[in-house]
Amino acid sequence: MKYQADFLEQVDRYFEKAATHTKLQRGVLDRIKACSSVYKITFPVRLDTGEIDMIEAWRAEHSHHRLPVKGGIRYAPSVCEDEIVALASLMTFKCAVVDVPFGGAKGGIKIDRRDYSSAEIERITRRYTFELTKKNFIGPAVDVPAPDYGTGPQEMTWILDTYRACSGGDLDSAGCVTGKPTSQDGIYGRKEATGRGVFFGIREACKRADEMRKLGLTPGIEGKRVVIQGLGNVGYHAARCIEENGARLVGLIEIEGAVFNPEGLVLEDVMEHRHATGSILGFKDAGSINESGKALELDCDILVPAALENQITRKNAGRIKAKIIAEAANGPVTAEADEILTASGRMILPDIYLNAGGVTVSYFEWLKNLFHVRFGRMQKRFDLLTHRTMLKAVEEMTGKKLGQEVYDFLESGGNEEDLVNSGLEETMILAFCDIQETGMRHGVDLRTASFIYAIEKVAVSIKELGIFP
């Protein structure tokens, strides 16, 4: 329990450090920092054996300055109230950083999935949803959950089905949860969104020639040596995008250990080996490290912790060799480690910016559910006609016939996933520019700049609501 309480203390430390760079009154800062609502639930579930198990769960709504509030639901034995409040706080600031109009929330159920059957997980998920519905802690205009550690599209489908049964057929009920399968009003590109957003953020940072020179690196992501911790949904898709864009995966870390090769690893080959053997260890043409924590110290240019919080602490921060630490997980670097790494000249891409791709595309999914129309449906054919007219005009003006491949490319148009990825890329680029500008204005690191930027945006919303003069 103390382990997770420390996580909340670290979020508060980041907040207070950033708060000193604002001109906001203490009362306003206290209002922004405080968690508005926490709901603890204890409920019984019948196991397949017929026995009854008591389940503990939480839902925290950190800030109601924008509605609905938004945040994932995690299933893990480490879940506790302090952890959920800390994650809800981060969600408030994360949404503000990427300009998504949600307040922050988070939920969690204290279970180890390995101890329960699929049928038992379904019963737990549905009962949790029922309890949230009773207290108005879920709904498309109130509180919109999403997947997190230990959950995925299947759990979101059960949540949607249960909410629909309890809400009496609300027309906008699909918007009560995001991260759903596309067959259940989900959106194309959501599964890859967080990992893809991590890539966009890293790529944007690597474009800054001045910053790269300070780190002793050349601009661009091509050729960078990358180590990734965690091959779940976020880590895997981040690794795939990074690999596809010319970086070299020199280390991959999972709970059982790590594999490394300075010449580079092929992600899909490692994943096939893991599928066949149940572990990444023993992969051909690679060294193995049995202790996953030691693998964080591998020599590389970019380290991407994409697992859980508190992975880099004051105990191992001094041995980290990476020049860029890209926080794909929530809170993987402790406050003490952050100070050590920043003082040594490392660049830390903070979680409240870097892993905001998930909530960004969740926002797109929520909009799709409220408007009841998929992206691109209304304008695609109009865009194709416009493009075709322009191409014919170019041919007439130049007297040159354009190739059929040009027409084929434009006539294929952008599908929903293309539009989602385009919106995600634009969001991550603009957010990085805003953070960097804030950092330069205040002379602070990117994490502090992110919190300053987020705090000031939340403060504007609160003042406009008339809560403070």
- The residues that are catalytic are 106
Q: What is the H or E stretch that residue 414 is in?
A: none
Q: What is the DSSP letter of 318?
A: G
CA atoms within 13 A on the CB side of 408: 3
Query: Strand ranges (DSSP E) for 49-102?
Result: 52-61, 69-75
**3-state class of 323 per DSSP?**
coil
**3-state class of 450 per DSSP?**
helix
The conformational region for residue 350 under phi > 0 = left, psi -120 to 50 = alpha, else beta, is beta
Tell which residue, 308, 328, 346, has the closest CA to residue 227: 328
Pairing of strands 143-147, 69-75: parallel
Question: CA-CA distance, 155 to 440, in Å (whole number)?
Answer: 42
Question: CA-CA distance, 389 to 347, in Å (whole number)?
Answer: 48
Question: CA-CA distance, 121 to 115, in Å (whole number)?
Answer: 10
Q: How long, in residues, is the chain?
A: 469
140 contacts: CB under 8 Å, gap ≥ 6: 68, 170, 172, 173, 174, 175, 176, 366, 369, 370
437 contacts: CB under 8 Å, gap ≥ 6: none
